[in-house]
């Protein structure tokens, strides 16, 4: 985001894990990123006085698009409970993002999951109660990338292959 704006964007990054937040600060500094404030904060608990023009919500998820099911440890940790917990957090984060998004603003919602329950289900459930809509992502930009079908027009789900990890992306506006 900083590179796209020639380091002119004012960016607020929220990371609830202190160690991950410190690692993020280190990486941003190493890359020469300016104008970024990293908060050790659970985004769901941000005060409603915050207001943003654009939000990148890279939501915690099961990681189903990145898993190698041949590895025993992943098959043991990839559980129904993990998916259910992820869905709950995703819904809460998306509701909060919509609450603090300025009118006319945009949210890019992404997960590294390929499961409809963590992607389309979450979007349909949350957006059905909000004055928000999906902005179609131009698939021509991804013409050489293998995609999975989605049930929401304009969203993208990348098929995991030996070249790509799977992930989901939707663009939302108020």
CB neighbours of 65 closer than 8 A, spacing ≥ 6?
111, 112, 113, 114, 158, 160, 165, 166, 167, 168
Distances (CA, A) of 109 to 79, 89, 91, 139: 23, 13, 11, 16
Give the active site residues. Answer: 112
pLDDT tens sequence across 51-84: 999 999 999 999 889 877 566 656 677 789 999 9
The whole-number pLDDT of residue 70 equals 60
Domain ranges of the chain: 1-41, 47-173
Give, in words, the CATH class of 47-173. Answer: alpha beta
Structure tokens at 111: 């997960």
Q: What is the value of pTM for the model shown?
A: 0.91
In the predicted structure, residue 174 carries a pLDDT above the cut 80: yes
pLDDT tens sequence across 152-161: 999 999 999 9
In the predicted structure, residue 109 carries a pLDDT above the cut 60: yes
> Which whole number is the average pLDDT over 41-56?
94
């Amino acid at each position: 985001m900083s590179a796209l704006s020639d380091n002119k964007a004012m960016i607020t990054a929220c990371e609830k894990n202190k160690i991950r937040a410190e690692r993020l600060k280190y990486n941003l500094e190493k890359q020469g990123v300016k104008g970024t404030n990293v908060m050790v904060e659970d985004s769901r608990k941000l005060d409603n006085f915050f207001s943003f023009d654009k939000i990148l919500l890279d939501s915690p998820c099961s990681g189903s698009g990145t898993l190698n099911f041949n590895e025993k440890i992943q098959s043991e940790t990839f559980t129904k409970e993990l998916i259910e917990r992820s869905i709950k957090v995703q819904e809460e984060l998306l509701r909060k993002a919509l609450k603090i998004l300025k009118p006319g603003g945009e949210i890019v919602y992404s997960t590294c999951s390929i499961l409809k329950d963590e992607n389309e289900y979450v979007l349909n459930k949350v957006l059905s109660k909000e004055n928000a809509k999906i902005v179609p992502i131009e698939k021509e930009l991804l013409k050489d990338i293998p995609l999975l079908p989605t049930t929401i027009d304009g969203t993208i789900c990348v098929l995991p292959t030996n070249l790509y990890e799977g992930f989901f992306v939707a663009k939302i506006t108020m």
